[in-house]
Amino acid sequence: MNKPFAITLDPGSSLANHTGSWRTLKPVYGDRLPPCNQACPAGENTQGWLYHAESGDYEAAWRVLTQDNPMPAVMGRVCYHPCEGACNRGELDSAVGINSVERFLGDEAIKRGWAFEGQAAASGKTVLVVGAGPSGLSAAYHLAMLGHAVTIKEAGPLPGGMMRFGIPMYRLPREVLDAEVARIAALGVKIEYNAKVANIKEAMTQGGFDAAFLAVGAHIAKRAKIPAGDAARILDAVSVLRSMEGEEKPLLGRKVVVYGGGNTAIDVARTAKRLGATESIIVYRRNREKMPAHDFEVEEALQEGVMIKWLSTITQADGGSITVEKMELDAKGFPQPTGQFETMEADSVVLALGQDVDLSLLDGVPGLEIADGVVKVGANMMTGASGIFAGGDMVPSERTVTVAVGHGKKAARHIDAWLRGSVYEPAAKHEPAPFGRLNTWYYSDAPKTMRPMLDTVRRQSTFDEVQGGLDESTALFEARRCLSCGNCFECDNCYGVCPDNAVVKLGPGQRYRFDYDYCKGCGVCAAECPCGAITMVPEAI
């Protein structure tokens, strides 16, 4: 029997490296920034934790998630999920239900009692956080994980800030909020309630704090100049929602008018229905296209019987009625009066015209710059006063829970560096992973799993949670809809299609490498990569 013929080549010979001279382009593995990660104001590694979730390792997914955001069960309920708006899968069928999976992971952690791990050794530094809202709690968590001793001073009797006093229970059950706050406190974070800080410099000196993070929420309601008689009952939205946390609920009457067009106006109008109002009417001076409230919240309110009077403004409130003037939009989209009036019955009028921040604690602090009711900060979140940082509603930004959580994380990293005498330099971001780089023909249609909704009758009469969560099977399905945009997930496509056996598997979790001694640069691997993780680059000469 003849033996097989074989040639052994010297690795340094021209024959052993002959394919390089044939190539004009060669494939290179790389990582790109998924659009979900890029769009998240909290800076979550969304694709990273979805990777673990789709394999069924929910605890690993939760731990990756909480490296950036310590409150996923809260965020899975109140975040407006810009990640889903950016999701590439939306170009294929519908966006991955990222927010739904996040809520599932958060609820699973509460149910299973998962605790934070990996806390750094004590640094000996102390930090004062003012405000136990989303930004303050986020900063406290990250600072504690970095080894610093943290004390939160909260002016109110309970933690959560606007998550508790501004978001109704039907959107965020309080037991969920309390569970996630308790997990942060378990790191050694001290929370002092009914402890309003009157002067930040004095508080830092008396407490011996090395740095401070200011996270005072916007709790002061803006007022409108509405002529009103003595019998007119005019309330503000912040007070109404705050009073819902007490034993005595607000008495709004049977006919309630809410003046405003934001999410707070929607929340108050929906709350009024649940308190027994037969009519809950939102008066808004522009049309629906111009309304700042999120469209899905408007839809839910309409489903519950809330009425909206578009292109209208309140000009007078007296006794049990209000006078409304019809408006029209000019060429620039601004509302203009028409001189057409009508009278509406109203037992109470609730103003939902926005909120301001109480900045009195900053009086007398040199170096601070305040403009338009907020504090100016640098790229490191530090104010003009050394060692005093700020975030959330106190600084110029969009006022959402997710943005506030992101501010807390960012500030904590800069505070940590400042306390250690260094400068925090965030890692450079990869290039974006656009939809056009994906090979979507590998994916079959798999429409998004919709979360269950409470029936309308119960929504009108109880404060039960309106939107339910996914169960394990649907959460797993939703996680597996992720396309892993821009990043190798070891699907073996490149390995299988390479005609020259130039792709080398490096083992689970290690991905692959190219053996350029065999690669001819045909580009089949790049063309067949589902997630666009392979780029053909010019061959070096």
Which residue blocks in 186-284 are alpha helix, DSSP H? 200-207, 237-243, 263-274
Whole-number pLDDT of residue 15: 39
The single residue listed with the structure tokens 């999701």 is: 87
pLDDT digits (tens, 9 = 90+) for 88-106: 999 999 999 999 999 999 9
350 and 229 within one domain = yes
Burial class (CB in 10 A: 0-12, 13-18, 19+), 10: exposed
pLDDT of 19 > 80? The answer is no
Which pairing describes strands 25-29 and 534-538: parallel, antiparallel, or unpaired? antiparallel
Query: CA–CA distance from 482 to each of 49, 320, 469 (Å)?
Result: 11, 54, 19
How many percent of the chain have pLDDT more than 70? 95
State pLDDT tens for residues 252-307.
999 999 999 999 999 999 999 999 999 999 999 999 999 999 999 999 999 999 99
Is 438 inside any structural domain? no
* Domain identity same for 188 and 269: no
Query: What is the distance in angstroms between the CA of the first residue and the CA of the last residue of the chain?
Result: 46
Pick from 44, 55, 173: nearest CA to 475: 55
Place of tokens 């001189």: 339
Residue 86 lies in a domain: no
**DSSP line for 149-163:** EEEEE-SSSSS-THH
Q: Is 288 part of any domain?
A: yes
Using the predicted structure, report yes or no on whether residue 13 has a pLDDT greater than 90: no
Q: What pLDDT does 248 receive?
A: 83
> What was the pLDDT predicted at 18?
53
User: CA 76 from chain center: how many Å?
Assistant: 9
Do 241 and 135 fall into the same domain?
A: no
Do residues 98 and 36 touch, judged by C-beta distance below 8 A? yes
CATH number at residue 394: 3.50.50.60
Phi/psi-derived region of residue 419, left when phi > 0, alpha when psi is between -120 and 50, beta in every other case: alpha
Supply the pLDDT for residue 39: 96
Q: Is the residue at 470 inside a domain?
A: no
**Cβ neighbours of residue 389 closer than 8 Å, sequence gap 6 or more:** 211, 212, 213, 214, 377, 380, 381, 382, 383, 411, 414, 415
Identify the residue with better confidence: 514 or 2. 514
Q: What is the mean pLDDT of residues 323-339?
A: 92
Same-domain pairing of 344 and 365: no
Neighbours of 31 (CB within 10 A): 12
Residues 252 and 399 in one domain: no
- pTM for the model stands at 0.91
pLDDT in tens, 128-148: 999 999 999 999 999 999 999
Q: Is residue 472 part of a domain?
A: no
In the structure, what pLDDT confidence band is assigned to residue 230 with cuts at 50, 70 and 90? low
DSSP state of 539: P
362 touches 368 (CB < 8 A): yes
Q: Which residues contact 21 (CB under 8 A, 6 or more apart)?
A: none
Task: Give the separation between CA 57 and CA 74, rounded to whole angstroms.
Answer: 21
CA dist., res. 74 & res. 177, Å (int): 6
Sign of CA dihedral 111, 115, 116, 118: negative
Q: Which of 173, 163, 137, 8 is nearest to 411 (CA)?
A: 137
- Reported as a pLDDT band with limits 50, 70 and 90, residue 3 is very low
What band does 225 get if pLDDT is binned at 50, 70 and 90?
confident
* Contact indicator for 411, 43 with CB cutoff of 8 Å: no
Q: What percent of the chain has pLDDT over 90?
A: 83
pLDDT tens-place string over residues 349-408? 999 998 889 899 999 899 889 988 899 999 999 999 999 999 999 998 999 999 999 999
Provide the domain limits for residue 155.
126-220+356-419
Q: Are 73 and 160 in contact (CB under 8 A)?
A: no
Mean pLDDT of 8-27: 57
Give the CA angle between residues 489, 493, 497 to the nearest 5°: 160
Confidence of residue 20 (pLDDT cuts 50, 70, 90): low
> Is position 450 within any domain?
no
- Tell which residue, 525, 530, 535, has the closest CA to residue 439: 530
* pLDDT level of residue 109 (50, 70, 90 thresholds): very high
For residue 507, the SS3 value is coil
241 and 346 inside one domain: yes
The residue among 354, 389, 409 that closes a domain is 354
pLDDT averaged over every residue in the chain? 92
Are residue 247 and residue 329 in the same domain, yes or no?
yes
366 with 510, same domain: the answer is no
Burial (0-12, 13-18, 19+ Cβ within 10 Å), 231: exposed
CB 250 within 8 A of CB 458: no
Q: Are 360 and 347 in the same domain?
A: no
pLDDT band at 541 (very low <50, low <70, confident <90, very high): low
Print the SS3 string covering 435-468. HHHCCHHHCCCCCCCCCCECCHHHHHHCCCCCEC
- What span, in angstroms and rounded, lies between the C-alpha atoms of 460 and 271? 9
- Give me the number of domains the chain comprises: 3
Asked whether the predicted pLDDT for residue 49 surpasses 80, the reply is: yes
Q: What is the dihedral of CA 426, 431, 435, 436, to 10 degrees?
A: 180
Q: Render pLDDT for 495-533 as a digit per residue (tens, 0 to 9).
A: 999 999 999 999 998 999 999 999 999 999 999 999 999
335 and 242 fall within a common domain: yes
The pLDDT of residue 227 is above 50: yes
Is residue 4 very low, low, confident or very high in pLDDT (cuts 50, 70, 90)?
very low
209 and 227, same structural domain?
no
Residue 71 lies in a domain: no
- In tens, the pLDDT along 196-222 reads 999 999 999 999 999 999 999 988 888
Is the pLDDT higher at 21 or at 102? Answer: 102
Q: What sign does the CA torsion over 171, 116, 480, 474 have?
A: negative
Q: Is residue 373 part of a domain?
A: yes
Q: Write the CATH number for 510.
A: 3.30.70.20
- Kind plus residue range of the DSSP H or E element containing 505: strand 503-505
* Better-scored residue on pLDDT, 512 or 447: 512
> Are 361 and 349 within one domain?
no
How far is CA 396 from its chain centroid? Answer: 17
Q: What is the per-residue pLDDT for 67?
A: 97
